[in-house]
Chain A
Amino acid sequence: KAGVTQTPRYLIKTRGQQVTLSCSPISGHRSVSWYQQTPGQGLQFLFEYFSETQRNKGNFPGRFSGRQFSNSRSEMNVSTLELGDSALYLCASSLEGGLTQETQYFGPGTRLLVL
Chain B
Amino acid sequence: KNEVEQSPQNLTAQEGEFITINCSYSVGISALHWLQQHPGGGIVSLFMLSSGKKKHGRLIATINIQEKHSSLHITASHPRDSAVYICAVRFGNEKLTFGTGTRLTIIP
Label chain B's interface by main secondary structure. strand
Q: Is A25 in the interface zone, CB < 8 Å from B?
A: no
The answer to whether B95 touches A100, judged by C-beta atoms less than 8 angstroms apart, is: no
Give CA–CA (A37, B97) in the complex, Å.
Answer: 12
Give CA–CA (A32, B87) in the complex, Å.
Answer: 19
Partner of A105, one of B45, B48, B96: B45
Partner of B98, one of A43, A59, A102, A103: A43
Q: Which of B19-27, B36-44, B65-73, B74-82 contacts A (4 or more CB under 8 A)?
A: B36-44
Q: Is B63 in the interface zone, CB < 8 Å from A?
A: no
Give CA–CA (A109, B37) in the complex, Å.
Answer: 12
Q: Is B83 in the interface zone, CB < 8 Å from A?
A: no
State the total of A-B contacts with C-beta under 8 angstroms.
Answer: 61
In chain B between 31 and 66, which residues have their CB closer than 8 angstroms to a CB of chain A? Answer: 31-33, 40-45, 48
CB-CB under 8 A for A42 and B100, given A104-B45, A108-B41: yes
Q: How large is the interface on A (under 10, 10 to 19, 20 to 34, 35 or more residues)?
A: 20 to 34
Give CA–CA (A30, B101) in the complex, Å.
Answer: 28
Min CB distance B95 to A, Å, is 5
Closest 6 CB pairs of A and B: A106-B43, A100-B31, A45-B96, A43-B98, A100-B90, A109-B41
